[in-house]
Each structure stands twice: as structure tokens, then as C-alpha cells.
Amino acid sequence: MLDIFLNFAAHGLANAGWLAILVYVLVTTQLTIFAVTLYLHRSQAHRGVDFHPAVSHFLRFWNWLTTGMVTKEWVAVHRKHHAHCETEDDPHSPQIAGIRKVFFEGAELYRVAAANEADLEKYGRGTPDDWIERHLYTPHAYLGVILLPVIDIALFGALGVVIWAVQAAWIPFWAAGVVNGLGHWWGYRNFETADKATNLTPWGVWIGGEELHNNHHAFPSSAKFALRKFEVDIGWIVIRGLEKVGMAKVLRVAPSLDERPNVSLPDMITLKALLTHRFEAMTDYYKTVIKPTVREQSDAEGTRRFGVMTRRRLRRALANGGRWLDKSGKARLATVVEDRPRLQQISEYRARLAALMEQRKPESALAALQQWCREAEASGNRKLAEFAARLKRYSVARA
């Protein structure tokens, strides 16, 4: 009897070797990543893709088994994050709470936010409310994560405890910590979004494509996160595979920006494209107007510093109007800009462009855009005039 117990504790029912155990851990954790990014994120939170009921329910079951997360709670917290990104109301912004807090305590921040009943009703609408959700997945959310270690121990004996610990930590670390933390702190940006979201790597593989976080914040409802030729989104590859066998239907992907020839004045087509691609337009402005103007100013003064601001910090501050600077930083930026007419000019034009995109009446926004382009082309700033000429030609590419 003792031998049977010791043999079970050492090998479990599976009696698996190390390679088989490693494959098991990698497959189960990757399935958990897919359950979060494909089902909770792209399908439920943003409605970018619909899955066949069999696929949807398997992913919902897998979330229950491996994470204990309730669909309505996850969706509500994430939608609130987008609605109030990088503000005091953001459930998990490292800009507000600090990178250490979000990285190491991201799961706790999620639990606190998920306990807000008013937010659940406001942001969690449209999530599953069927019999199994009401009687099992929501009221007994943690039954799955109790069942999982039982399965692991049954299969692998005492080692199952370690395996379960890895599975249990996978989402709190990679999603709550890395994506919500580092994804708003460190990395590269394709788009000058109104938040600090970054792409961690151009190859979104290890955490299902969530590495491409800046792309996602630029086009939240897109089922595809990879938006540059060199980027890879493994979650999108899975979606396309499921689509080919009739198990998924893509509802939304990020539109492409196109340009029309011979446009003398911005029209409603221009305005629609500008509003659709507002972050791409601001990125274009940063790359083609702000960066070269700051460089020219720096070369003219024979310096790489503007007081306490380096050239790099100055152009990054101008890119977002100094939004992320503290009070003293904004004062330093204002001092640098007001003493240099060319920097003041591009800063004012950027602010006007951002403001007209917030106007509610299309007619007023179009009139402001037309005036902006006329004045930019007559500004005497070659880079600004070239940007205005290109902006007039904007259009949304046909799918």
C-alpha cells in the first residue's frame, strides 16, 4: 500500500517523463493565453471576432478552469481601462499607480476593480448570461482553480503542485503584470495614441499577440493586432485558421490609410479618414514635422540640449503636447518653446489639429481642418506645408 502511494506521489497516473510534462505545461498555459486574448479580449470586450459556440464555450470553460475569471468582470474592467486610460479612473495604469504596483500587484488591482458593481453593469453589458454562467461560472468562479490542481496532482503526483503553481501564476504575471504594466511603460510605438501604450515586441507570440499593445490601443476593436509588415500576431493566425474551417467570423480589423491625388482642399472624405486614423495622423505629424524641426533648431543652436531638456525629451514632449510632464516639466517646456518661434509654431499647429478632431459637429470640424491646411501651407515652414498637402489627400482605403 505504501509503495502504491509513493509511486503515485512520484509519478502520478500519467507516469510521464520530463519532456511530456514540459509539453503539458506549455500547451495548457498557451491555451490559457488564447482563452484570454481571443475570447475575453478580442471577442467579448471589443467585438472584433465571433467564434462558433463550441469554440466560445471551450474558451470560456478553460478560463473558468485555469484562471477563475468571470467574463463579465474581465470585460468590464478592460472596457473601463480603455474609457479612462491613464487617468485616476483607470483600473491599472502604471502612469498613475506606478510601474512597480501594476507589475507586481496587477492581479490585486484587477480584483479590486472587478468588485465595483456599478462598473460591472455599465461596462459589462453583452456578456454571456446563460444557465451555465448564472449557475456555475459566475457563482462558483474559483471552483475551476480548485479542480485544476486536483487534475494536475492526479496526473503527475506531487510535481502537480508545482505545475499548478505555474499555471495559476501565468495570467497574473503575463497579462496583469507584463501587458498592463510594461505595455504602458516600455517598448516602441507605431501610433501617437492619447495614452502611453507600447508594443513590447514586434513578434506577438509568447502572450498571444498582446505584446502589440500600442497597436491595440490605436484600433481597439480590431481583431488583428499586427499592423506593420514586420509584426506577427499569433492570436490573429489562430483566428484566421478557425475562420477557414468555419469556426470564427472576423467582424472588424483596423482600416488602412490611403491617399487620393489632386485634392485642393480637405473634404468630408478627408475628415472621415483623419478621424479614423487620428493616431496615425499624429504620428505622421510627429515624424515629419516635429522631429525634423527640433533637429533643425538643435543644429542651428549647435546644441543637443535645450536647457534641462535633451533634444529627445523635447521632441517627445512636443509629440503629446507635454501631457505626461509634471507641473515643473510643463513650465520648462513652455520656456523652451516660447523663446523659439519655430517650435512655438509647430506646437500650436499640433494643438489646433488635436482640438479640431474633438469637435462634435462635422461641419465645424471640416471648416477648421480647411482653415488649418490653408494656414499650414502658407506658414513658411516647409515641413508643415508638406504635411498639410499630404493630409488633404487622406482617405480610408477600401477593404
Distance (Å, whole) CA 228 – CA 97? 31
DSSP H helix total and E strand total for the chain: 21, 8
Give the contacts of 282 (CB within 8 A, at least 6 positions apart): 191, 192, 319, 350, 353, 354
Residue type, 254: A
Distance (Å, whole) CA 20 – CA 64? 24
What is the C-alpha radius of gyration for the chain, rounded to an integer number of angstroms?
25
Give pLDDT tens digits for 210-228. 999 999 999 999 999 999 9
Residue 247 grid coordinates: 469556426
How does strand 49-51 pair with strand 257-259?
Answer: unpaired
CB atoms within 10 A of CB 392: 22
CA-based nearest residue to 201, from 168, 170, 171, 234:
234
The yes-or-no verdict on residue 49 having pLDDT over 70 is yes
Share of the chain above pLDDT 90, in %: 92
pLDDT value at residue 4: 64
pLDDT value at residue 7: 65
Task: Match 527640433 to its residue by C-alpha cell.
Answer: 294
- In degrees and rounded to multiples of 5, residue 4 shows phi and psi of -65, -45
Give pLDDT tens digits for 325-384. 999 999 999 999 998 999 999 999 999 999 999 999 999 999 999 999 999 999 999 999
Give pLDDT tens digits for 89-108. 999 999 999 999 999 999 99
Q: Which residues pair with 232 in a beta bridge?
A: 203
Alpha-carbon dihedral sign for residues 268, 273, 276, 277: negative
Give pLDDT tens digits for 137-166. 999 999 999 999 999 999 999 999 999 999
Query: pTM for the complete prediction?
Result: 0.93
DSSP result, 329-360? HHHHHHHHHHT-HHHHHHHHHHHHHHHHTT-S
Residue type, 178: V
Widest distance between CA atoms in the chain: 92
